[in-house]
Amino acid sequence: MTQPSHGQATLAIRHADILIIGGGLSGTMLAVQLLRLPGQRRIMLIEPRTELGRGEAYSAVELGHTLNGNAARMSVDPDNPDDLTQWLTEHIAAGGWPESDQQHVPVSELFPPRGLFGVYVQQRLAEARAVGLGHGSTVEHVRAEVVDVQVSADCVQLTLSDGQSLHGAQAVLATGMFPAARTPQKTSSGLNAAALDPWDVAAMRQLDPQSTVLIIGSGLTMVDAVVSLEQAGHRGPIEVFSRHGLLPHVRRQPPAWVDFLAEDHGIRTPRQLLRELRRHCRAAIAQGIDWQAPLDTVRAHIGRLWSQASDVQRRQFVRHVRPWWESHHHRSPPLSAELVERLHRDGRLRIQAASFKGLEPAVEGGVGIRIRRRGEDQTCVVRGAALINSSGIEYDWRRVARPLPQQLLARGLVQPGPLALGIAAAVDGAVLDAQGRESARLFAMGPPLRGMWWESTAVTDVALQAKALAARLAREGGDTLTAKSQ
């Protein structure tokens, strides 16, 4: 598509039936589901990146940055849990990803590189385009950033960073995640300006290989940062600081376990869940079974448990349980976990329970941070050659200094979700405005609904939401605006 120049005084308004804001995994999967449905509709995917289907998560280019779930858990087709396994089998047989044999496991248990997963998503989109053409549906990639949204009784109007204006019968906020390491903050400590990107291996190659690197945060982004440093040839000390000093557990492939939450709907509170889960984990260990087996049965019930919990119970979970839930549930892929464990065992990587309190003035080209170690009253300064921000995802839209979330909040078109996690919406994804009214034209899916379902970022979550929302949009006839405009 040829983009108009910035110097044009006026630009023609372009029309679509469904506007999808964001062309990462969420937006692309929604487009795939819409293209597969009968009916004629024009879809526009607004995404500034050159490629659809990748977003932040799957734009990684290093083979060492892998999915944190094996192929059997990562299908983008909610009707076929083996879809990724089948695609990988064909891809490897055709000569793709020759490094896969290093994992020494069946294809279903492979942890593919995130960049390769992006190729898989793109192929499924290409196949859906062909299906859509059969009944007159199309999808267009509009390369720009959405900077404003207005909703009227007749349509949704998007203003783009290049000056274009798009009108649609319906619009979907499929904005994906805002990684803290790459997201400008409204109230910033200057951390990102001083820190290296966790995935920028080229920048890490510029460091003295023996220098000390400081990392804030000890979750999966930290694991990626350690992989990046290793691939860049770094061989010096790595100092990791996080409030609780917890590392992600390694993901294993445990056997099946009884779905105890399906059998007992009386378990409703975080305290009840933890008590029962611990009992089942102890029972598994006593039988010589991996404790991850009972934990994995909980995943299917998280949305129900979270949505029926009170605000007080949700706050209790976030304050007291969340760090342990993240380290136990959001587990590290085996090869990455092995690297972290080896560096930790060798003394090169050290984990410290400490809170980040701010940056210190640079000395001799290095970087300094002020921290307060757990159990201590006083702060201290720690220095290194470089700093990496691995503090995870920013879910509070009020803190994100990007035009779209700020404009949506300022116009009252959205309101913060429960506990300020993402935005509020109805069960079917219809966005709630500042007065709590349900929109008939503006919807959301994926990470923006974190506050609604707690887990709303995994591939399986996104795939299920995409299928349900596509059916809703198609049922309500989002294919009327283009006809009116022609």
State the pLDDT at residue 187.
62
Nearest residue to 476 (alpha-carbon basis) of 152, 130, 39, 165: 39
Say whether both 409 and 463 belong to one domain: yes
Give the end of a domain, one of 326, 356, 373. Answer: 326
Q: What is the CATH number of the domain that holds 196?
A: 3.50.50.60
Say whether both 436 and 449 belong to one domain: yes
Say whether both 154 and 50 belong to one domain: yes
Using CB atoms within 10 Å of the CB of residue 311, give its burial: 0 to 12 exposed, 13 to 18 middle, 19+ buried.
Answer: exposed
Can you give the C-alpha Rg of the chain in angstroms? 23
Say whether both 322 and 339 belong to one domain: no
State the pLDDT at residue 29.
98
pLDDT digits (tens, 9 = 90+) for 452-470: 988 888 899 999 999 999 9
Is residue 266 domain-resident?
A: yes
Using CB atoms within 10 Å of the CB of residue 10, give its burial: 0 to 12 exposed, 13 to 18 middle, 19+ buried.
Answer: exposed
**pLDDT band of 276, cuts 50, 70, 90:** very high
* Mean of pLDDT over the chain: 91
Q: Give the Cα separation of 122 and 116 in Å (integer).
A: 10
Is residue 101 domain-resident?
A: no
Question: Which structure tokens are listed for 178?
Answer: 């805002």
Greater confidence (188 vs 52) lies with 52
Give the end of a domain, one of 298, 326, 354. Answer: 326
Average pLDDT of the segment spanning 435-451: 95
In the chain, how many domains are there?
Answer: 3
Is residue 141 domain-resident?
A: yes
Task: Name the pTM for this structure.
Answer: 0.91
Say whether both 155 and 303 belong to one domain: no
Nearest residue to 324 (alpha-carbon basis) of 359, 278, 272, 283: 278
Q: Give the Cα separation of 122 and 382 in Å (integer).
A: 44
State the pLDDT at residue 188.
59
Is residue 18 domain-resident?
A: yes
**pLDDT band of 7, cuts 50, 70, 90:** very low
Say whether both 403 and 477 belong to one domain: yes
Is residue 410 domain-resident?
A: yes
Say whether both 315 and 424 belong to one domain: no
Say whether both 304 and 234 belong to one domain: no
Say whether both 132 and 55 belong to one domain: yes
The answer, yes or no, to whether residue 228 has pLDDT greater than 50, is yes
Range of the domain at 287: 260-326
Nearest residue to 75 (alpha-carbon basis) of 124, 20, 37, 22: 124
pLDDT digits (tens, 9 = 90+) for 112-124: 999 999 999 999 9
pLDDT digits (tens, 9 = 90+) for 126-156: 999 999 999 999 999 999 999 999 999 999 9
Asked whether the beta carbons of 70 and 44 are under 8 A apart, the reply is no
Is residue 303 domain-resident?
A: yes
Q: Where are the alpha helices (DSSP H) in 256-333?
A: 260-263, 270-286, 292-298, 302-308, 311-316, 322-329
Is residue 100 domain-resident?
A: no
Say whether both 212 and 342 belong to one domain: yes
**pLDDT band of 189, cuts 50, 70, 90:** low
Say whether both 157 and 278 belong to one domain: no
Asked whether the beta carbons of 243 and 319 are under 8 A apart, the reply is no
State the pLDDT at residue 8.
45
User: From the CB of residue 423, how many other CB atoms can be counted at a distance below 10 Å?
Assistant: 25
Is residue 56 domain-resident?
A: yes
Say whether both 145 and 55 belong to one domain: yes
Asked whether the beta carbons of 138 and 31 are under 8 A apart, the reply is no
pLDDT digits (tens, 9 = 90+) for 297-351: 998 888 888 888 888 989 988 888 888 888 888 899 999 999 999 999 999 999 9
Give the end of a domain, one of 279, 298, 326. Answer: 326
